[in-house]
Amino acid sequence: MNEQPMPGPIRRTLAAARSHRPELSVIVPAFNEGENVDALIGKLVPVLEGCVSSFEILFVDDGSSDDTLERIERFAALDSRIRALRFSRNFGKEIALAAGLDHAQGEAVALIDADLQHPPEILKTFVARWREGYEMVYGQRVDRSTDGPLRRWLTERFYRLFQRFGETPLPEGAGDFRLMDRKVVLALRKLGERARFSKGLYAWVGFRSIGVPFEVQERLHGTSKWGLHKLTRFAFDGLSSFSTLPLKLATYFGVAISIFAMTYAATMALRTIIWGSDVPGFPTLVVSVMFFSGIQLVFLGIIGEYIGRIFAEVKRRPLYIVAEEIGGEPLDDDEPEAPHPARTTARARQST
C-alpha cells in the first residue's frame, strides 16, 4: 500500500471493506462430527460477532459418513457466512486444513477443531494479538491430560527427537489451533507438499509469531479419529520431511560397523599368524551374517519410505478433490495468488 501508514486494526478493517473480504475466516475440518456441528456453530458465531467486523466459517467435510454435511447445509442455507467444501472422500485432517487455506477469503484465517477441544473464546485473544501486529498467533496447550498416557509419552518422545534433529524448531505445545494473517496463508499456499506435517510448515514459513496458552477441553461427542497407526505415520512424515537424519543413520551405522569389522579382521589376521588357524567360529559367522542382513533391511526400508514419498510427490496428483462447494457468495475480486499448481483441485483443472 502506498498510503500513509495507519494503525494496524484500521488498515485491516479498511482492507477487508475494500475487497469485500471477511475480516476473519475460520476453517473447521470435520470428519464425522455431526453431533458437534450445532454446538460448535452455537458457540463460535457469538464469539466472532463480538470480536470481528465480518467473518466466514468454512467447514471442510472430510468425507464424513454421518450427517455432518446435512447439518452444515442447514446452517449454510440460513446464514451466508457459513459455507463448506465437501471432499470426495476422506483425505485426512492435514489435507482438509490445506484445502481450507486454499479457499479461505478472510484477511486473517483461524483453524479450529470441530469437536470443541479448542475453546472458541480464545479466538478473541487471537484476534487481539493479530491486531497488535502479530502475523501468526498459535494456541499453546498447557497440559495434555486429555490424551492417553501412551499417546502423551510418544508425543513427548517425538518432540524431543524433532527438537534435536529437525531442520526447523517447533514451538512447544503448538498445534493446529491458530490464527494467521493473509500473508502467511498466501505463503502456505505456495507449499505443495503431499506428506503434510503442518506444524512443521507453519514454523518453516516463519513470520512474527506469538503463543497464547489455552487448556485443551474434553471432546464434546465421539472419539478421536487419530489411531496410533495414523499418528505414527504422521510422526514419520514429520521427521522425514524436515530432517534427513534417518538416511544419515545408515551412513553412521555403516561407518561404525566397518571400523569394527576392520579391527576384527586385523586381530584375526594377527592371531592366525601367531597361533595358526583353527576352524571354530561358525556361530560368530551366523550371528554376524544375520546382524548385517538385518541392518541392511532396516535401512533399505527407510530409503524405501523416502522413495515412496518422492514417488507420491512426483505423481503430482491434486492434493484433494472437492466434490461440492456449499453456501457463501463469490468474492468480487478473484484470488490474486493462485495455489501451487500441484494443489489445484480436479475441478479447477477441468475449468482451465
Binding-site member from 19, 90, 168, 344 for ligand UDP (CB under 6 A): 90
Task: Please report whether residue 93 would count as binding ligand UDP according to CB under 6 A.
Answer: yes
| Count helices and strands in the chain by DSSP H and E runs | 12, 8
- The whole-angstrom separation of Cα 281 and Cα 80 is 79
Between 96 and 125, how does the x/- string for binding to ligand UDP read (CB under 6 A)? x----------------xxx-x--------
- The whole-angstrom separation of Cα 193 and Cα 310 is 10
What is the per-residue burial (b if ≥16 Cβ within 10 Å, else e) of 311-333?
A: eeeeeeeebbbbeeebbbeeeee
Q: What region does 212 belong to: left with phi over 0, alpha with psi -120 to 50, or beta?
A: beta
CB of 304: closest distance to Mg ion in angstroms?
32
CB of 64: closest distance to ligand UDP in angstroms?
8
Phi (first) and psi of residue 120, to 5 degrees: -60, -25
Binding-site member from 31, 138, 177, 197 for ligand UDP (CB under 6 A): 31
- What 8-state DSSP symbol labels residue 223? -
Between 322 and 341, how does the x/- string for binding to ligand UDP read (CB under 6 A)? --------------------
Q: Which is nearer to ligand UDP, 21 or 36 (CB)?
A: 36
Task: Please report whether residue 117 would count as binding Mg ion according to CB under 5 A.
Answer: yes
- The whole-angstrom separation of Cα 126 and Cα 211 is 9
CB of 3: closest distance to ligand UDP in angstroms?
40
CB of 115: closest distance to ligand UDP in angstroms?
5
Task: Please report whether residue 237 would count as binding ligand UDP according to CB under 6 A.
Answer: no
- What 8-state DSSP symbol labels residue 97? H
Q: Among ligand UDP, Mg ion, none, what does residue 292 contact (CB within 5–8 Å per kind)?
A: none
With vertex at residue 27, the alpha carbon angle to CA 133 and CA 100, rounded to the nearest 5 degrees, is 105
Element (H, E) at 174: strand 174-181
Contact 82, 42 (CB under 8 A): no
Contacts (Cβ under 8 Å, ≥6 apart) of 154: 228, 231, 235
Q: Which is nearer to Mg ion, 180 or 216 (CB)?
A: 216
CB of 150: closest distance to Mg ion in angstroms?
17
CB of 313: closest distance to ligand UDP in angstroms?
21
CB of 117: closest distance to ligand UDP in angstroms?
5
Site for ligand UDP in 285-304 (CB under 6 A): none
Task: Please report whether residue 33 would count as binding ligand UDP according to CB under 6 A.
Answer: yes
Element (H, E) at 333: none
- For 267, counting Cβ atoms within 10 Å of its Cβ (0-12 exposed, 13-18 middle, 19+ buried), the class is exposed
CB of 178: closest distance to Mg ion in angstroms?
15
Q: Among ligand UDP, Mg ion, none, what does residue 252 contact (CB within 5–8 Å per kind)?
A: none
User: Residue with CB nearest ligand UDP?
Assistant: 224
- For 146, counting Cβ atoms within 10 Å of its Cβ (0-12 exposed, 13-18 middle, 19+ buried), the class is middle
Between 206 and 235, how does the x/- string for binding to ligand UDP read (CB under 6 A)? -------------x----xxx---------
The contact set with ligand UDP (CB under 6 A) reads 29-31, 33, 62, 90, 92-93, 96, 113-115, 117, 219, 224-226
The contact set with Mg ion (CB under 5 A) reads 115, 117
